[in-house]
Amino acid sequence: MRLLHTMIRVGDLDKSIAFYRDILGMELLRRKDFPEGKFTLAFLGYGDESENTVLELTHNWEITGYDIGNGYGHIAIGVDDVYAACDRIKAAGSDVVREPGPMMHGSTVIAFVEDPDGYKIELLSEG
């Protein structure tokens, strides 16, 4: 067994794809419209789905936004340098909502950013 994907619902699919692709460096692996159901699925990731866990973005055509709720935590992405990643994200015009630094009660360097829908993404130093 292996984890295949995580799905989140998004209000503006093109804006969300641009964030995950252009700012976080994921590749758009596939995208498919389902006209009868009035929704589109887009799968993004850092490698082929046959070997990597990916992110599924679901866009319901008649809905422009969602309440994230208090059960959602975050998506975690490993990066070589959290400080440099945050500099790139800020330069691209996206929000860093927790500046880089050691995690509370630990030494791992982390930061948090938000995607266009307000979902939190944790950046972790892999070094």
**Active-site annotation, residues:** 122
CA distance 63 to 18: 19
Distance between CA atoms of residues 98 and 59, nearest Å = 27
Is residue 19 exposed (0-12), middle (13-18) or buried (19+ Cβ within 10 Å)?
buried
The DSSP code for 55 is E
Distance in angstroms (rounded) separating the CA atoms of residues 103 and 110: 6
